[in-house]
Structure formats: C-alpha cells, structure tokens
C-alpha cells in the first residue's frame, strides 16, 4: 500500500460533560487511508462517529493516540482536509449566495484563480445555473451539492462526510450518492464517509469499517471489491453487493446488541 494520506493511530476521545461527568466515546480506532481510497464508517447511533470525524479532521484534539496527515502529526484544521456535515441548512450561510458560500472554501486560493475555481466546482456538482441563488431558494439536495462544491473547491487531499445525505428523501439520496461517486472517480481525493446506511456504505466504498458501541473500537473491516465505475442500476443488483451488505449489516447488528447488553 502506498504511504497513507491520513492515519489514525490508536485514537481515543474522552469527553467531559457540562456536569463534569467523563465519557469515553472512542476507545481505540486505527485506520490508514490511502490516497484516493474511499472508506465508509458505520456504527450504532451514539457510538462516537461524529466525535471520531472531528478528531480525525483536526477540529478537536484526540485524548489519546495520534492523527497523521501527509506524514506529519495533525495539530488543527488544515486546508487539505474538507468536511461536509449532515445538516446543510446549518453549514451554508443563508445570507450569502451559493457563489459566495462556495467562495468561502476558496479563500486560500490565489485571488485571480478563485472565480474560475468556484465556477468549476459548481459545474462539477451540477449547480452552474444557481450561483446567484441563496441557499434557502434551493432544495435540500441542491444545498448539499453546494456544500460539496464548497468542500471540493480547495482541491482537498481528503474529503470527510458526516451523514451527508441523511436529511434528504430517498430518491435525492441515491442521486447524491452518484454525484459523490462521480466526483470521487474524476478527482484525486481520498474519502471518509460516516453513514447509518449500510447499503450506501458498501455502494460507495473500497472498504467499510464497522465501529462497536461506545466506547468505540473497530469491530470489523470489510473489503469491497465491487467493480467501478458503479451505478445504482447495475452495482446494487449484483449478488456480491447483497452478500457484502448482509455481511456489514450482521456486524452492525452485533454492535447494536452489544450496546443493548451494556444498558442492562
């Protein structure tokens, strides 16, 4: 395997609640993300997936272990890592047009290049005619595409996505999965996707990590060797797809049972 672009080494995150209580959210998670690799992370609700992404992206320091980005320790937010959050209505600025929102992601680029890059990013997500609209004038799926354009305009090495399609309807979700798949095929970023949806995890990824219940550790790692390029009409009908989906689902259910058990 080539030198990983991102390495999580025995990452642990312990959070302190406002009442002073201490919760170990992430116990021990390790992952090497290769350049251009697509990894999905699934796990029971509350298993600390968002917390893990925050630590992996430099948004918060881990309590234990280390994150390495391009071979050096990650000490905070860096331009090479972009994140798309679940709630597009909270991640776009409502008082800025789509173009100005995407421009926010381009502010580290040379000024002369920015407008062109923003135009390109909007074209890549299929929003070329909507640059002057405000986010609230767009559908949920279009807002999420604008958030994707903002994340990709800086040409990141790693794109992290936290439940990016959870707030849109099933049809839009399928379409957005294909938008991401297509962008990934045609670009050079590695992707880390957190999702509840096992089929989505398998459909998009080269590898799926299943997290245990909190405090989370890696319960299983499943390689997805489905042919690319993938499409809903083809990939999801393959018998191998159904097998992989069942395999991941079984591990997620195990993690869920573990969680119920821990509450008894």
Ligand X SMILES: Nc1ncnc2c1ncn2[C@@H]1O[C@H](COP(=O)(O)OP(=O)(O)OP(=O)(O)O)[C@@H](O)[C@H]1O
Tell me which residues touch Mg ion (CB under 5 A): 50
Taking the CA of residue 142 as centre, how many other CA atoms within 13 Å lie in the half-sphere pointing to its CB? 17
Calpha distance 27→256 (Å, rounded) = 16
Place of tokens 């990590």: 209
Token pair belonging to 76: 């905070």
Least distance between ligand X and beta carbon 18 (Å): 7
Least distance between ligand X and beta carbon 44 (Å): 7
Calpha distance 215→48 (Å, rounded) = 8
Cβ proximity to ligand X: between 85 and 134 the closer is 85
Which of these ranges, 40-48, 106-114, 151-159, 227-235, lies near ligand X under the rule CB under 6 A?
A: 40-48
Cβ proximity to Mg ion: between 50 and 187 the closer is 50
For residue 38, what are the CA distances in angstroms to 15, 132, 208? Answer: 28, 32, 9
Which of these ranges, 42-50, 103-111, 131-139, 250-258, lies near ligand X under the rule CB under 6 A?
A: 42-50
Provide the mask over 203-222, with x wherever binding to ligand X is found by CB under 6 A and - wherever it is not.
Answer: -----------x--------
Query: Is there binding between residue 10 and ligand X (CB under 6 A)?
Result: no
Which of these ranges, 45-53, 68-76, 93-101, 223-231, lies near ligand X under the rule CB under 6 A?
A: 45-53
Query: Is there binding between residue 94 and ligand X (CB under 6 A)?
Result: no
**Phi/psi at 38 (5° precision):** -120, 115
Calpha distance 18→33 (Å, rounded) = 34
Cβ proximity to ligand X: between 7 and 51 the closer is 51
Token pair belonging to 257: 């049972």
164 interface partner picked from Mg ion, ligand X, none, CB below 5 to 8 A per type: none
15 interface partner picked from ligand X, Mg ion, none, CB below 5 to 8 A per type: ligand X
46 interface partner picked from ligand X, Mg ion, none, CB below 5 to 8 A per type: ligand X
Query: Is there binding between residue 50 and ligand X (CB under 6 A)?
Result: yes
Query: Is there binding between residue 51 and ligand X (CB under 6 A)?
Result: yes
Calpha distance 212→192 (Å, rounded) = 17
Which secondary-structure segment (H or E) carries 52?
Answer: helix 49-56
- Residue number closest to Mg ion, CB atom: 50
Calpha distance 92→104 (Å, rounded) = 10
Helix axes 98-105, 111-124, angle to 10 degrees: 120
Q: Which residues bind ligand X (CB under 6 A)?
A: 15, 17, 23, 25, 43, 45-51, 214
């Amino acid at each position: 395997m080539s030198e990983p672009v991102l390495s999580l080494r025995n990452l642990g995150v312990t959070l302190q609640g406002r009442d002073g209580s201490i919760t170990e959210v992430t116990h021990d998670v390790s992952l090497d993300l290769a350049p251009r690799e697509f990894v999905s992370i699934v796990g029971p609700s509350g298993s600390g997936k968002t917390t893990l992404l925050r630590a992996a992206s430099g948004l918060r320091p881990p309590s234990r272990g280390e994150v390495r980005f391009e071979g050096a320790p990650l000490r905070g937010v860096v331009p090479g890592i972009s994140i798309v959050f679940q709630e597009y209505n909270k991640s776009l600025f409502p008082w800025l047009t789509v173009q100005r929102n995407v421009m926010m992601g381009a502010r580290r680029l040379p000024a002369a290049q920015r407008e062109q890059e923003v135009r390109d990013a909007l074209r890549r997500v299929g929003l070329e005619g909507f640059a002057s609209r405000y986010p609230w004038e767009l559908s949920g799926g279009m807002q999420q595409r604008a958030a994707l354009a903002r994340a990709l305009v800086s040409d990141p090495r790693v794109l992290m996505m936290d439940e990016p399609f959870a707030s849109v309807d099933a049809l839009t979700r399928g379409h957005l999965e294909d938008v991401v798949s297509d962008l990934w095929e045609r670009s050079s970023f590695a992707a880390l996707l957190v999702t509840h949806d096992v089929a989505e995890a398998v459909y998009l990824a080269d590898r799926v990590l299943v997290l245990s219940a909190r405090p989370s550790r890696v319960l299983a790692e499943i390689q997805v060797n489905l042919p690319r390029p993938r499409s809903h009409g083809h990939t999801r009908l393959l018998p191998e797809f159904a097998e992989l989906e069942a395999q991941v689902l079984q591990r997620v259910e195990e993690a869920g049972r573990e969680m119920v058990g821990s509450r008894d």
